[in-house]
């Protein structure tokens, strides 16, 4: 490796570590205070970097929040699409519609455990009228709809979808059952354990759409 290549690699790694530190600081502050009470300078202070670095890396607070959510959703900052991650690949590898949906429920449970503390704060801001957070809610709802559509298409293609069930209606059902609001109501409000939530979700999905 040449000196220039080494220096470039080192700078890239430092930038990645800085970005990771900023994202973690932002996630902590958003959960602690709620998005309305967090500024880019607050995040910079918690991450021990300059505000200029935060702005240069993320541009806007809305973009920073979305990146925090995306990393929390995935569980890390590796550039691996959700569909290629082990939890989702396990769905595709399973045999039979009910087994696939049980594995899908497990993936949904793990995602909810990671994202729920953050989403409670962000969705409250969206309902409170913040336009950026309202747009965030529309975006994440659309992303969840895309994921729900993917599992429905997979079930339809492998014979696991109930005969006569409209795929669009099945997608709506999945989209609703895996909504973070449902997890928060059952686990956060009603005191269900994550295991109980996962078992219920697997049964609810199977009873609603499996062939």
Express each pLDDT in 85-139 by its tens digit: 999 999 999 999 999 999 999 999 999 999 999 998 998 888 888 999 999 999 9
Rounded-to-integer distance, Cα 176 and Cα 171, Å: 9
Q: Give the pLDDT score at 13.
A: 87
Indicate the average pLDDT of the chain: 94
pTM (2 d.p.): 0.89
* Domain 80-211 fold: Tetracycline Repressor; domain 2 (1.10.357)
Q: In this predicted structure, what is the pLDDT of residue 34? A: 95
CATH homologous superfamily for the domain 1-77 = Tetracycline Repressor, domain 2 (1.10.357.10)
Does residue 3 carry a pLDDT above 70? no
Residue 98 has what pLDDT?
Answer: 97
Q: Find, among 168, 175, 177, the residue nearest to 207 by Cα.
A: 177
Asked whether the predicted pLDDT for residue 7 surpasses 60, the reply is: no
Candidates 141, 174, 180; CA nearest to 160 is 174
Question: Of all residues in the chain, what percent carry a pLDDT higher than 90?
Answer: 87
pLDDT at residue 11, as a whole number:
80
**How would residue 205 be classed by pLDDT, with cut points 50, 70 and 90?**
very high
- Spell out the long-range contacts of 29-35 with Cβ–Cβ below 8 A and sequence spacing 24 or more: 30/65, 30/68, 30/118, 30/121, 30/122, 31/117, 31/118, 31/121, 34/121, 34/124, 34/125, 35/61, 35/65, 35/121, 35/122, 35/125, 35/130, 35/133
Residue 128: the pLDDT is 83
Q: Is the pLDDT of residue 20 over 70?
A: yes
**H-helix or E-strand spanning residue 159:** none
| 69 has a pLDDT exceeding 70 | yes
Nearest CA to 148 among 172, 166, 164? Answer: 172
> How far is the C-alpha of 156 from the C-alpha of 191, rounded, in Å?
35
What distance in Å separates the CA atoms of residue 123 and residue 115, rounded to the nearest whole number?
Answer: 11
Instruction: Label residue 149 exposed, middle or buried (CB < 10 Å: 0-12, 13-18, 19+).
Output: middle
Average pLDDT in the 37-52 region? 97
Locate CATH 1.10.357.10 in the chain: 1-77, 80-211
Share of the chain above pLDDT 70, in %: 96
- Count Cβ atoms below 10 Å from residue 116 Cβ, excluding itself: 17
């Amino acid at each position: 490796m040449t000196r220039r290549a080494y220096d470039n690699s080192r700078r890239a790694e430092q930038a990645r570590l800085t970005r990771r530190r900023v994202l973690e600081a932002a996630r902590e502050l958003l959960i602690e205070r709620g998005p309305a009470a967090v500024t880019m300078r607050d995040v910079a202070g918690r991450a021990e970097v300059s505000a200029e670095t935060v702005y240069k890396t993320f541009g806007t607070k809305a973009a920073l929040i979305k990146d925090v959510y995306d990393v929390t959703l995935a569980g890390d900052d590796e550039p691996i699409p959700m569909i290629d991650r082990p939890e989702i690949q396990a769905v595709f590898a399973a045999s039979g519609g009910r087994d696939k949906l049980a594995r899908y429920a497990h993936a949904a449970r793990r995602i909810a455990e990671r994202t729920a503390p953050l989403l409670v704060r962000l969705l409250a801001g969206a309902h409170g009228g913040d336009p950026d957070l309202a747009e965030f809610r529309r975006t994440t709802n659309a992303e969840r709809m895309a994921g729900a559509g993917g599992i429905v298409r997979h079930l339809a293609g492998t014979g696991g979808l109930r005969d006569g069930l409209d795929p669009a209606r099945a997608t709506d059902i999945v989209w609703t059952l895996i909504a973070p609001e449902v997890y928060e109501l059952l686990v956060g409000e009603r005191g269900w354990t994550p295991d109980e939530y996962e078992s219920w979700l697997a049964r609810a999905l199977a009873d609603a759409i499996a062939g």
